Amino acid sequence: MRGPHNVWRLVRTGATLERTGAMNLVLDAFDAPPSLRLVSRVMGWPFKWLGLKGDPSMPPAVRALAALGPAYIKFGQVLSTRPDIVGDDLALQLRVLQDKLPPFPTAIAKATVEDELGETVDAVFSDFSEPVAAASIAQVHQARLRETGQEVAVKVLRPNIEKAFRKDIDAFYFAASLIEFISPSSRRLHPSEVIRHFDGVVQGELDLRLEAAAAGEYAAKTAGDAGFVVPRTHFFHSAKRVMTMEWAEGIPFGDVEAIDAAGHDRKALGERVLQLFLRQALNDGYFHADMHQGNLKVSATGDIIAYDFGIMGRIDEYTRRVYAEILIGFIRKDYRRVAEVHFEAGYVPADRDIDEFAQALRAVGEPIFGMNATQMSMAHLLSYLFEVTERFGMETRTELILLQRTMVVVEGVARTMYPQINIWEVAQPVVEDYIKQNVGPRALLRDLVTTAQVLGRFGPKLPQIMEAALMQRSQSSKPMRAKPVQNQMLTFVAGFAVAAAAFTVWSLLP
């Protein structure tokens, strides 16, 4: 990471916000205190002339973020789903960043396709349109396969996008290190780890072979989800910088007027998108982690169509159970159980008082549930939880970053469809169904069966393990030194016996 470059990048960020007139919008959107406004003005104004000019035809915030580059555009995309945070006007302006950025020339896109696929565009496609959508990383062209006549969407990475992202990520790493140095208390939040996680996610977006594979896996896992469609990927016409998918016709999720005109039930759509996300995250442990309006459409039949699978989230079974128990605890106002789950998962240091933590969680939850449907927000909950985590020394869980971020984005999408949506009422049946199936006696037996199956694979090695333990015992001059190996062997045998018994009980259950 280049220090001078990163210092310059951060200075220019502030200068660009000032020059484009976006600084006040940003400060107003986040309700910045007077002291921060003063510091921003004093630090930003002298360097205003260093800022990027951007496209004067764009609104100030869009102009600034588009000029600063792809990583900043990604940030704007997230904010565009949160009118409850940044206001309706700014959210509407930022929605341009989802798929309406200036495209690059079609000639460059065709050259990229030919370089990646090793064939001319005319040999593969009978038609290849001008860009129909352009986002921060890539743009999309509508085309027709010459061999089958099928309509497809061809996604092509922007030229030199990898280098542009690398510069932004370097600056983010530098900023994270600076924050950790200046504010030691921030280290519990692991800013550098968060940026490292974001870096890994971005690298996945910059290789369309990985996105194609993600789309295929996502389609397989969601095949049974009613009212949800994932377009089919054409792997033979995809490469690192080009991806071809089945064309999906529909109304963009952000075009509320067109959705109304088509006669779709926006309340049902808002509820469905939220429940689909929760079911996929909890039941499959695999979810679309960039589920903003620009990546969703509504088909003529009312199905929700998802695309752009560059950012996908994955969480293990244990984390899913923890997350579900935390959600259901808040829904049922069982703050003691929410506190216990945090301690059991190791999210809160063991030396803290569980009753005090439960009381703090009640202080978080009760105001939320006292609000009406338009005020209740996952963003507010996460904001209040952040204050609690600071008090009780909780550390950032990088495995939950995408999950929490996507939950906030999906809530924003659902509210766009139906502002009065009550996310807790919509989420409750999904979470309760997951709890019923995955937490309790039957789930425990299922875990033991899985353990038995894993241990069973080591069965052929059991004689060698016992022989090695006995030989170590006989050759050791200090019998006590052999104890750890003996204990491992006994634990293995005992675990195998318990798991085998569980398997027997499971097989007898109706």
What does the pLDDT look like over 291-324, one tens digit per residue? Answer: 888 889 999 999 999 988 988 888 888 888 888 8
pLDDT at 205: 81
Instruction: For the chain, report the end-to-end CA distance as a whole number of angstroms.
Output: 60
Query: What pLDDT band is residue 487 in, cutting at 50, 70 and 90?
Result: low
In this predicted structure, the answer to whether residue 169 has a pLDDT above a threshold of 70 is yes
Name the active-site residue from 84, 99, 290, 308. Answer: 290
pLDDT at 480: 46
Mean pLDDT, rounded, for 425-439? 85
Q: Where are the strands (E) in 259-412, listed by range?
A: 286-288, 296-298, 304-306, 312-314
SS3 394: coil
Q: Which of 132, 179, 176 is nearest to 152 (CA)?
A: 132
In this predicted structure, the answer to whether residue 129 has a pLDDT above a threshold of 90 is yes
Mean pLDDT, rounded, for 28-32? 62
Q: Are 448 and 341 in contact (CB under 8 A)?
A: no
Query: What pLDDT band is residue 199 in, cutting at 50, 70 and 90?
Result: confident
What gap in Å lies between CA 295 and CA 245, rounded to an integer?
Answer: 14
Query: What pLDDT band is residue 390 in, cutting at 50, 70 and 90?
Result: low
What is the signed CA dihedral for 367, 371, 373, 375, rounded to 10 degrees? -80
Percent composition of the chain: helix, strand, coil (DSSP 3-state, to 5): 65, 10, 25
Report the DSSP pairing between strands 228-229 and 304-306: parallel
pLDDT tens digits, residue range 54-108?
888 888 888 888 888 777 787 776 666 555 556 667 777 777 776 677 899 999 9
Report the DSSP pairing between strands 286-288 and 312-314: antiparallel
In this predicted structure, the answer to whether residue 150 has a pLDDT above a threshold of 70 is yes
pTM of the model: 0.71
In this predicted structure, the answer to whether residue 286 has a pLDDT above a threshold of 80 is yes
In this predicted structure, the answer to whether residue 195 has a pLDDT above a threshold of 70 is yes
pLDDT at 124: 95
Instruction: Verify whether residue 290 is a known catalytic residue.
Output: yes
Q: Which of 38-47, 295-304, 442-451 is most confident? A: 295-304
Sign of CA dihedral 328, 332, 333, 336: negative
Higher pLDDT, 341 or 2: 341
In this predicted structure, the answer to whether residue 208 has a pLDDT above a threshold of 90 is yes
Q: What single DSSP character describes residue 296?
A: E
Two tokens, residue 405: 């971020």
What gap in Å lies between CA 96 and CA 283, rounded to an integer?
Answer: 33
Q: Are 461 and 312 in contact (CB under 8 A)?
A: no
Mean pLDDT, rounded, for 267-279? 93
What gap in Å lies between CA 358 and CA 360, rounded to an integer?
Answer: 5
Higher pLDDT, 229 or 409: 229
Q: What single DSSP character describes residue 162?
A: H
Higher pLDDT, 72 or 359: 359
In this predicted structure, the answer to whether residue 419 has a pLDDT above a threshold of 70 is yes
Higher pLDDT, 460 or 236: 236
In this predicted structure, the answer to whether residue 266 has a pLDDT above a threshold of 90 is yes
Mean pLDDT, rounded, for 1-20? 72
Average pLDDT, rounded, for the chain:
79
Per-position DSSP letters for 460-495, written without gaps between them: GGHHHHHHHHHHHHHH-SSGGGGHHHHHHHHHHHHH
